[in-house]
Structure 1
Amino acid sequence: MSPKDAVLQAALERSAALVRADRAALERLSHPNFTYVNAGGARLSLEEYLETYVSLGDVRWEQQELEQVQVEVYGEAAVLVARLHDRATHQGRVFDAYFQTTQVYVLFPQGWLCVAAQTTQAPQE
Protein backbone atom coordinates (compact mmCIF):
# COMPACT_ATOMS: atom_id res chain seq x y z
CA MET A 1 0.00 0.00 0.00
CA SER A 2 1.35 3.44 -0.91
CA PRO A 3 1.80 6.05 1.85
CA LYS A 4 -1.07 8.12 0.38
CA ASP A 5 -3.35 5.09 0.43
CA ALA A 6 -2.29 4.25 4.00
CA VAL A 7 -3.08 7.78 5.20
CA LEU A 8 -6.45 7.70 3.45
CA GLN A 9 -7.17 4.32 5.06
CA ALA A 10 -6.30 5.72 8.51
CA ALA A 11 -8.65 8.69 7.92
CA LEU A 12 -11.47 6.39 6.82
CA GLU A 13 -10.90 4.21 9.88
CA ARG A 14 -11.08 7.31 12.12
CA SER A 15 -14.39 8.36 10.55
CA ALA A 16 -15.83 4.85 10.92
CA ALA A 17 -14.68 4.70 14.56
CA LEU A 18 -16.38 8.05 15.24
CA VAL A 19 -19.66 6.75 13.80
CA ARG A 20 -19.37 3.58 15.92
CA ALA A 21 -18.42 5.66 18.99
CA ASP A 22 -15.38 3.38 19.24
CA ARG A 23 -13.16 5.20 21.72
CA ALA A 24 -10.47 2.50 21.70
CA ALA A 25 -10.10 2.66 17.91
CA LEU A 26 -9.88 6.46 17.97
CA GLU A 27 -7.19 6.27 20.64
CA ARG A 28 -5.28 3.72 18.55
CA LEU A 29 -5.49 5.91 15.43
CA SER A 30 -4.53 9.18 17.17
CA HIS A 31 -1.29 10.33 18.74
CA PRO A 32 -1.54 10.85 22.53
CA ASN A 33 -0.72 14.57 21.98
CA PHE A 34 -3.42 14.94 19.30
CA THR A 35 -4.93 18.44 19.02
CA TYR A 36 -8.27 19.24 17.39
CA VAL A 37 -9.78 22.61 16.52
CA ASN A 38 -13.51 22.35 15.83
CA ALA A 39 -15.64 24.52 13.54
CA GLY A 40 -16.50 26.76 16.48
CA GLY A 41 -12.82 27.45 17.16
CA ALA A 42 -12.52 25.37 20.34
CA ARG A 43 -9.15 23.65 20.79
CA LEU A 44 -9.37 20.13 22.25
CA SER A 45 -6.82 17.61 23.46
CA LEU A 46 -7.30 13.95 22.59
CA GLU A 47 -9.06 13.33 25.91
CA GLU A 48 -11.33 16.34 25.43
CA TYR A 49 -12.08 15.28 21.85
CA LEU A 50 -13.02 11.76 22.96
CA GLU A 51 -15.17 13.04 25.82
CA THR A 52 -16.95 15.59 23.60
CA TYR A 53 -17.54 13.47 20.51
CA VAL A 54 -17.71 9.93 21.90
CA SER A 55 -18.11 9.45 25.65
CA LEU A 56 -20.65 12.08 26.74
CA GLY A 57 -23.29 10.99 24.27
CA ASP A 58 -24.30 14.57 23.36
CA VAL A 59 -23.25 13.85 19.78
CA ARG A 60 -24.20 10.64 17.98
CA TRP A 61 -22.74 10.30 14.49
CA GLU A 62 -24.84 8.56 11.87
CA GLN A 63 -22.37 9.16 9.08
CA GLN A 64 -19.14 10.95 8.27
CA GLU A 65 -18.18 10.78 4.60
CA LEU A 66 -14.94 12.13 3.21
CA GLU A 67 -15.25 13.70 -0.22
CA GLN A 68 -12.82 15.51 -2.53
CA VAL A 69 -9.91 14.00 -0.60
CA GLN A 70 -6.37 15.17 -1.27
CA VAL A 71 -3.39 13.61 0.49
CA GLU A 72 0.17 14.93 0.27
CA VAL A 73 3.00 12.97 1.85
CA TYR A 74 6.21 14.66 3.04
CA GLY A 75 8.53 11.89 4.18
CA GLU A 76 7.05 10.60 7.42
CA ALA A 77 4.40 13.32 7.63
CA ALA A 78 1.24 13.75 5.59
CA VAL A 79 -1.55 16.27 5.22
CA LEU A 80 -5.07 15.22 4.26
CA VAL A 81 -7.57 17.84 3.11
CA ALA A 82 -11.17 16.82 2.45
CA ARG A 83 -14.78 17.89 2.46
CA LEU A 84 -16.77 16.15 5.21
CA HIS A 85 -20.43 15.30 5.03
CA ASP A 86 -21.58 14.82 8.61
CA ARG A 87 -24.94 13.52 9.70
CA ALA A 88 -25.43 13.37 13.43
CA THR A 89 -27.64 14.13 16.37
CA HIS A 90 -26.40 16.80 18.78
CA GLN A 91 -28.29 17.06 22.06
CA GLY A 92 -31.33 15.54 20.39
CA ARG A 93 -31.26 17.79 17.32
CA VAL A 94 -30.46 16.28 13.92
CA PHE A 95 -27.94 18.03 11.76
CA ASP A 96 -26.70 17.34 8.27
CA ALA A 97 -23.82 19.61 7.28
CA TYR A 98 -20.68 19.93 5.22
CA PHE A 99 -17.29 20.89 6.59
CA GLN A 100 -13.72 21.21 5.38
CA THR A 101 -11.12 19.28 7.32
CA THR A 102 -7.36 19.36 7.45
CA GLN A 103 -5.74 16.37 9.18
CA VAL A 104 -2.04 15.89 9.84
CA TYR A 105 -0.61 12.37 10.09
CA VAL A 106 2.84 11.19 11.13
CA LEU A 107 4.28 7.74 10.49
CA PHE A 108 5.13 5.92 13.73
CA PRO A 109 6.14 2.26 14.21
CA GLN A 110 2.44 1.38 14.77
CA GLY A 111 1.40 3.17 11.56
CA TRP A 112 0.06 6.56 10.45
CA LEU A 113 -1.37 8.41 13.47
CA CYS A 114 -3.40 11.59 13.36
CA VAL A 115 -1.53 14.25 15.34
CA ALA A 116 -3.75 17.26 14.56
CA ALA A 117 -6.99 18.15 12.83
CA GLN A 118 -9.09 21.21 12.17
CA THR A 119 -12.62 21.47 10.85
CA THR A 120 -14.26 24.56 9.37
CA GLN A 121 -17.61 25.27 7.80
CA ALA A 122 -17.56 24.35 4.11
CA PRO A 123 -18.56 26.91 1.51
CA GLN A 124 -21.92 26.30 -0.15
CA GLU A 125 -21.67 24.52 -3.48
Structure 2
Amino acid sequence: MSTAERIYDILLAKADAIVRRAADRLDGLIHPDFVYVNAAGRSFDKAGYIETYCTSGRIAFAAQRFSNLSVQEFPGVAEATFIAHDSFIVDGATIAATYQSLCVFVAGPDGWQWIAGQTRTAG
Protein backbone atom coordinates (compact mmCIF):
# COMPACT_ATOMS: atom_id res chain seq x y z
CA MET A 1 0.00 0.00 0.00
CA SER A 2 1.37 3.42 -0.94
CA THR A 3 1.81 6.27 1.54
CA ALA A 4 -0.97 8.20 -0.22
CA GLU A 5 -3.32 5.25 0.30
CA ARG A 6 -2.33 4.99 3.97
CA ILE A 7 -2.90 8.72 4.52
CA TYR A 8 -6.27 8.51 2.77
CA ASP A 9 -7.22 5.63 5.08
CA ILE A 10 -6.22 7.71 8.13
CA LEU A 11 -8.32 10.63 6.90
CA LEU A 12 -11.29 8.31 6.39
CA ALA A 13 -10.80 6.84 9.87
CA LYS A 14 -10.60 10.37 11.32
CA ALA A 15 -13.82 11.37 9.58
CA ASP A 16 -15.54 8.21 10.80
CA ALA A 17 -14.33 8.82 14.36
CA ILE A 18 -15.67 12.38 14.52
CA VAL A 19 -19.02 11.36 13.02
CA ARG A 20 -19.33 8.45 15.46
CA ARG A 21 -17.81 10.48 18.30
CA ALA A 22 -15.32 7.67 18.88
CA ALA A 23 -12.74 9.52 20.97
CA ASP A 24 -10.64 6.42 21.60
CA ARG A 25 -10.34 5.76 17.87
CA LEU A 26 -9.50 9.39 17.14
CA ASP A 27 -6.90 9.43 19.93
CA GLY A 28 -4.93 6.65 18.23
CA LEU A 29 -4.75 8.56 14.94
CA ILE A 30 -3.35 11.77 16.42
CA HIS A 31 0.25 12.33 17.54
CA PRO A 32 0.76 13.57 21.15
CA ASP A 33 2.41 16.81 19.87
CA PHE A 34 -0.53 17.61 17.60
CA VAL A 35 -1.54 21.18 16.73
CA TYR A 36 -4.50 22.21 14.58
CA VAL A 37 -5.78 25.60 13.42
CA ASN A 38 -9.43 25.66 12.32
CA ALA A 39 -11.03 27.93 9.72
CA ALA A 40 -11.87 30.49 12.41
CA GLY A 41 -8.19 30.72 13.39
CA ARG A 42 -8.58 28.87 16.70
CA SER A 43 -5.70 26.58 17.70
CA PHE A 44 -6.12 23.18 19.35
CA ASP A 45 -3.83 20.64 20.91
CA LYS A 46 -4.70 16.94 20.77
CA ALA A 47 -6.97 16.95 23.84
CA GLY A 48 -8.73 20.14 22.74
CA TYR A 49 -9.34 18.84 19.22
CA ILE A 50 -10.82 15.57 20.46
CA GLU A 51 -12.97 17.38 23.01
CA THR A 52 -14.22 20.04 20.58
CA TYR A 53 -14.84 17.91 17.50
CA CYS A 54 -15.67 14.56 19.05
CA THR A 55 -16.89 14.49 22.64
CA SER A 56 -18.28 17.88 23.68
CA GLY A 57 -21.37 17.83 21.49
CA ARG A 58 -20.90 21.54 20.67
CA ILE A 59 -20.16 20.52 17.09
CA ALA A 60 -21.76 17.28 15.90
CA PHE A 61 -20.49 16.03 12.54
CA ALA A 62 -23.01 14.28 10.32
CA ALA A 63 -20.50 13.66 7.51
CA GLN A 64 -17.06 14.53 6.25
CA ARG A 65 -15.94 13.68 2.71
CA PHE A 66 -12.70 14.45 0.87
CA SER A 67 -11.78 15.28 -2.69
CA ASN A 68 -8.70 16.45 -4.58
CA LEU A 69 -6.32 14.65 -2.20
CA SER A 70 -2.65 15.23 -2.90
CA VAL A 71 0.01 13.57 -0.73
CA GLN A 72 3.69 14.42 -0.78
CA GLU A 73 6.09 12.17 1.11
CA PHE A 74 9.43 13.10 2.64
CA PRO A 75 11.63 10.97 4.93
CA GLY A 76 9.41 10.31 7.96
CA VAL A 77 6.85 12.99 7.02
CA ALA A 78 3.88 13.22 4.68
CA GLU A 79 1.79 16.26 3.85
CA ALA A 80 -1.69 16.04 2.49
CA THR A 81 -3.79 18.76 0.92
CA PHE A 82 -7.42 18.20 0.06
CA ILE A 83 -10.89 19.68 -0.07
CA ALA A 84 -13.08 18.69 2.90
CA HIS A 85 -16.84 18.62 2.43
CA ASP A 86 -18.35 18.84 5.91
CA SER A 87 -21.84 18.60 7.28
CA PHE A 88 -22.23 19.38 10.97
CA ILE A 89 -24.65 20.73 13.53
CA VAL A 90 -23.86 23.79 15.65
CA ASP A 91 -26.44 25.35 17.98
CA GLY A 92 -29.18 23.26 16.35
CA ALA A 93 -28.39 24.47 12.83
CA THR A 94 -27.09 22.11 10.16
CA ILE A 95 -24.18 23.57 8.24
CA ALA A 96 -22.74 22.26 4.97
CA ALA A 97 -19.38 23.80 4.21
CA THR A 98 -16.35 23.23 2.02
CA TYR A 99 -12.81 23.76 3.31
CA GLN A 100 -9.26 23.62 2.00
CA SER A 101 -7.14 21.57 4.38
CA LEU A 102 -3.48 20.82 4.97
CA CYS A 103 -2.56 17.90 7.21
CA VAL A 104 0.92 16.77 8.21
CA PHE A 105 1.66 13.20 9.27
CA VAL A 106 4.72 11.66 10.89
CA ALA A 107 5.87 8.07 10.62
CA GLY A 108 6.32 6.26 13.91
CA PRO A 109 6.76 2.72 15.15
CA ASP A 110 2.99 2.14 14.95
CA GLY A 111 2.54 3.77 11.53
CA TRP A 112 1.53 7.24 10.43
CA GLN A 113 -0.03 9.73 12.86
CA TRP A 114 -1.58 13.13 12.24
CA ILE A 115 0.64 15.77 13.88
CA ALA A 116 -0.53 19.10 12.43
CA GLY A 117 -3.27 20.62 10.35
CA GLN A 118 -4.82 23.83 9.19
CA THR A 119 -8.16 24.43 7.53
CA ARG A 120 -9.57 27.47 5.77
CA THR A 121 -12.76 28.20 3.95
CA ALA A 122 -12.42 27.12 0.34
CA GLY A 123 -12.85 29.76 -2.22
* TM-score (norm. length: structure 2): 0.96
After TM superposition, the structure 1 = structure 2 runs for residues 31-110 of structure 1, keeping only pairs within 5 Å, are 31-110=31-110
Identity in percent: 31
Q: CA shift at 1:18, angstroms?
A: 1.1
Give 1:55 shift: 1.4
Residue type of the partner of 2:14? R
Query: Which 4+ residue blocks in structure 1 deviate beyond 4 angstroms?
Result: none
How far has the Cα of 1:89 moved from its partner?
Answer: 0.4
Equivalence for 1:12: 12
- Tell me the distance in 2 between the aligned counterparts of 1:12 and 1:71: 14
State the shift of 1:19 in Å: 1.0
Aligned residues: 123
* Counterpart Cα distance in 2 of 1:51 and 1:17: 12
Alpha carbon RMSD of aligned pairs, Å? 0.8
1:9 offset after TM fit, Å? 1.1
Aligned-pair distance for 1:27? 0.5
TM, length-normalised to structure 1: 0.95
